[in-house]
Amino acid sequence: MTLILKTDLELQNLKLFDNTKQLEILNNEVAYIVTNGINPLEEWYDDRFEYIVTYSKLGWKDLAERFNLKDKYIFDTALLIIQLIGRLLEERAIKRFFYIPTYHTLLYNIKNIWEYYNTTYVCGEADIDVVDLIEGMAYL
């Protein structure tokens, strides 16, 4: 019960958090929705679609190209993120709702690629290969 109340409070103040925390909160929210079979209100789709659009503007294609032969996980995950964003944008173009498990998979992979990069490549220096993406995440 306390976790749900904390998450509700965080969701009400979502824009006050930094981008990494926002991503964590959104990921936790959609995981809860999927796990509990909740059907969100129509407004929820509008609010969450803003984040899909924001994440779509990050340099996923450039990231995939830069890591093509350097890091298979980043390359494959960036391509998957591009596909997931494409699906969600296509769905939204035809209807107000989008498939929540696709959105969940998108957030999960963005969160994981971010954490993977931070643990694998960040050692007090910025890797030139991902500077644009990292700056994009940091300054959304």
pLDDT (tens digit per residue) in 110-129? 999 999 988 887 764 555 55
Please give the C-alpha separations between residue 75 and each of 60, 63, 83, 92, 112, in angstroms, as whole numbers: 9, 7, 13, 26, 13
Per-position b or e across 103-123, b if 16+ CB within 10 A of its CB:
bbbbbebbbebbeebeeeeee
CA distance 108 to 102: 10
Q: Is the pLDDT of residue 55 over 70?
A: yes
CA distance 88 to 51: 11
Summarize pLDDT for 56-108 with one digit per residue, the tens: 999 999 999 999 999 999 999 999 999 999 999 999 999 989 999 999 999 99
Q: How far is CA 29 from the centre of its chain?
A: 12
